[in-house]
Amino acid sequence: MNDARLNKEAYIQVSRLKSLNATSSDPKFVLEKSQFEEQDNETEATASSIQPDMFIIGRIFPDSEVFKEGAFKIEIKLKVGYPFEPPEVRFLTPIYHPNVDKDGTFSHELLNKNAKYKTTITLHEIVKAVIERIDQPDLLYPLRAEVGREYAQNRSDFNIIALENVNKHALPRR
């Protein structure tokens, strides 16, 4: 597949994410920024022009007891080879979670080319997987082992610290 067709696929996927733009959608996601949006104002050739890595920024709205109090800004990086290369997801809003490192790096098997990633996985499915992982941590493969251990062994302490972080860092749910 040539670069123009790959970019067109990315454009279609971002357009589908944009249509979610509601906190009542499933998954709950609001698109804030994409390079396609910026280019739509500049040229008609957005979907076919060759691009370097592309970034999508949006907010997710988890449903779990602790995290439902706020929204979290994430960045989805579509590498040049997308969809043959999996996207990378990073949290821009700090979050206390076993599957999110202190620098915002997010871990999920759908984002691992050697695990469950397939070229047919949509950005919609990835956003849904991110929210589900926040609501239901994967304790077998935490990025922060100590936080995973706390979640498993002392949930009340985890909830207190996580909620403090939500109150301190999370964005309003609107």
Question: Would residue 76 count as lying in a domain?
Answer: yes
In whole angstroms, give the CA distance from residue 60 to residue 163: 16
Question: Would residue 174 count as lying in a domain?
Answer: no
Q: Which residues contact 27 (CB under 8 A, 6 or more apart)?
A: 20, 60, 124, 127, 128, 130, 131
Mean pLDDT, the chain, as a whole number? 87
In total, how many domains does the chain have?
1
Question: Would residue 81 count as lying in a domain?
Answer: yes
| Predicted confidence (pLDDT) at residue 85 exceeds the cutoff of 60 | yes
Question: Would residue 8 count as lying in a domain?
Answer: yes
In whole angstroms, give the CA distance from residue 87 to residue 113: 10
Q: Which of 87, 164, 152 is nearest to 118 (CA)?
A: 87
Cβ 121 vs Cβ 24: under 8 Å: no
In whole angstroms, give the CA distance from residue 14 to residue 38: 12
- pLDDT tens digit string along 134-153? 999 999 999 999 999 999 99
Question: Would residue 9 count as lying in a domain?
Answer: yes
* pTM of the predicted protein model: 0.86
- pLDDT tens digit string along 33-79? 987 765 544 444 444 444 578 999 999 999 999 999 999 999 999 98
Backbone angles phi, psi at 7, to 5 degrees: -65, -35
Q: Quick one: CA dihedral 109, 115, 116, 119, positive or negative?
A: positive
Number of helical (H) and strand (E) elements in the chain, helices listed first: 5, 4
Question: Would residue 21 count as lying in a domain?
Answer: yes
Domain span at residue 63 reads 3-169
pLDDT at 16: 85
End-to-end CA distance of the chain: 40
Q: Hey, what are 69's tokens?
A: 């109090």
Kindly indicate the confidence band of residue 114, based on its pLDDT and cuts at 50, 70 and 90. Answer: confident
Question: Would residue 158 count as lying in a domain?
Answer: yes
> Which CATH number is 112's domain given?
3.10.110.10
Instruction: Centre a 10 Å sphere on the Cβ of residue 80 and count the other Cβ atoms it contains.
Output: 14
Question: Would residue 157 count as lying in a domain?
Answer: yes
Q: Which of 158, 150, 142 is nearest to 64 (CA)?
A: 158
